[in-house]
Structure 1
C-alpha cells in the first residue's frame, strides 16, 4: 500500500457527525438510567424517585427501592461498558467484524474455571470468582488464537470464528461434565451461568473498578496502533508499529475486561458484538473513537435489556443474559450474511 492509499484510509477513518452521535448517546444514557431507576416489579413515581436520589434521610419504600436500583444501574452500566470495549478490541485485533467474547469462546473458558472452582475448591465469593474467570478467559483466548493461526494463511476471520465455536462447544461439555454429578454445584452455578446484573452491590462495583480502569487504559493506549494495524501488518510495521506487542496488549485488555465482567455478572453474550457494530456503522472504524463510544453504547444496551427483562418477567424478572442472546443471535446471523466473514 503506497502513501496515497494510507492517507486515503486515514480519511475514511475520520468519524462522521461525531458530535451528534455523542449527544444522542448521552440522551439515550440519561433515559436508560431513568428507566432503570423507575421501572421494575414496581414502578416508582416521581416523588419516590426524587426522594431516593436527593433525600437520603427519607426512608419510604419507594425511596429505598430507588437506592437499591442505583447500585444495580451503576453495576449494569459498568458491565456493559466493559463488554463493549472488549468487543471493540477483539474485533480490531482479529480484523473480524463478528469477533466477540462469547463467539470466540472466552466467556465459556471463564465459566469452566468458575465451575471448577466451585466444585473442587468450594469458592463462593466474587473475589475468588474474578481471578478464576480472568485466568480461564486468558487461557481460552490464547488457545483460540493459537488454533486460529495455524496453517499458511495465518489467523483469518473465518478460522478464528470456527476455532472459537469449536472451543466453546468443548468447554461447554466440560462444564456440564463437572456440574451434573454435583447437585450443590449445579444449584450455585446455574444462576450465575444465565448472566444477570441483579446481584450487583457496592462491593462488586469496588472490586470491578480496578479491572475496568486498567482495561480501558490499555484500550485507549493501543487505539492509535490498532488503526495502523487495520492497514495490514506490513504497512503497520513500516509505520513503526510492533504488531505482535500491540496485539498482545490489546488482547490482554479485552480479555481482562471480559473476564472481570463475566466473573461478577455471569457470561452475558453479544454485547460487544452489538455495541461495536452499531458504533462502527455510524462513525466508521477509527478505534480511538470506537472504544469510548462502544463503552457508552454497551452500557446503554445492557441497561435497556435489563429494564426489558424486569418488565417482561414481572413480578419477577427475566435474566438479562437471556434477552441479549435472544436479540444478539439474529443480528449475528445478519452481520455474517452481510459481511460474509470478511476482514475489516
Structure 2
C-alpha cells in the first residue's frame, strides 16, 4: 500500500506524473563508499515503491553501467509498470577515471540503445543529457533526442546542469520536461536564472543532492565516517575540505537547532524547504538504508510557515557557505553553453 504522504505531482507541462519525492539511485552502486550496515539494494527499491516513491533516477555513468543493470534486475516481474524511470547519457569514464562529455548524434543514439538493453525496457520515461557537450550545438543533440521520442524509445527529454540559454535553445527544438540541477540549502545559485527560466517555459525541476550529499543528514562529522575512496573526500568537492567544513558546520548547527524546535530531523527540514518551493519541484535524495528512506519520506509531512521559510532562507544564504559546490575542473551549468547551430558540420 503506497504511503499516503507521498503525493503525486505533474513534472513539467508535457504530461509526466511522478511521486513528489524521488529516489536517486547512484549511491546503490557508485561513487559513495557507505559504511555498513546497508540494505540490500533490491529490498530498498521494493520498499521505496511500496512507500509511494516511484520516481527512480539513474545514469549510464553510475558504476559505470552497473546502476542501470541493477535497476534492470529490479524492474523484472511486473515492477516496470509501477515506476517512472529516468536515466542519463553524456558522461563517459575512460581509462584512469578520465571523464569525457559527449553529445553528438551517433553517441546519443548508441547510449540510448545501450541503456534500454541494460535496463531491459522498451522505453525510458525521462532521458536526460547528463552534462552538456560544449563542442556540439544543443540543437544537434536535441534533434537526435527528438527522433528517439518519435521512435518510442523515450517518452520525455530532460537536461542536467544546463544554463538558462542552453535550456531555451533546447526547448525550441523539442519541449524539455525536466531540468535536473543541484539545489539545496547550501546550493542556491540556480535560483537566479535557471529556476525562473524553467518556470517561464513550464519545465519541471528535479533537485539532486538536496541534502548536500549527506551534509544536512549528518553534519560535518559525516566526513569522519567516510571510506577513503568516497568521492566526497576528493578535491572535486571543496565544501568537504576541512577548512571549509569547519566554517560550514555553523550552517548545519543552525539548521539542527531549528529542526529541534520543529520536532523533525535536519535532513527532513532541508527537504521540506525544497518541497515548499512549489509543486513543480521534485527532490531525489539517495540512500542505501531503509530507515533513511523512511525519514526522507517523512519530510513531506513537515509544514513550514512563511516565517520559517524566511528563516531558512537567511540561514542558507549563499554568503553562509564556504567553498564552491564543485572544483573548476567539473562541468556545470556555469560552463554549459554550446556553439551556434550554424557552426556545426556533420561528418
Q: TM-score, normalised by structure 1?
A: 0.25
Q: Which has the higher contact order (CA 8 A, sep 6+)?
A: 1
| Higher percent of residues as helix | 1
| Higher percent of residues as strand | 2
Q: TM-score, normalised by structure 2?
A: 0.25
Task: Find the structure with the greater CA-based Rg.
Answer: 1
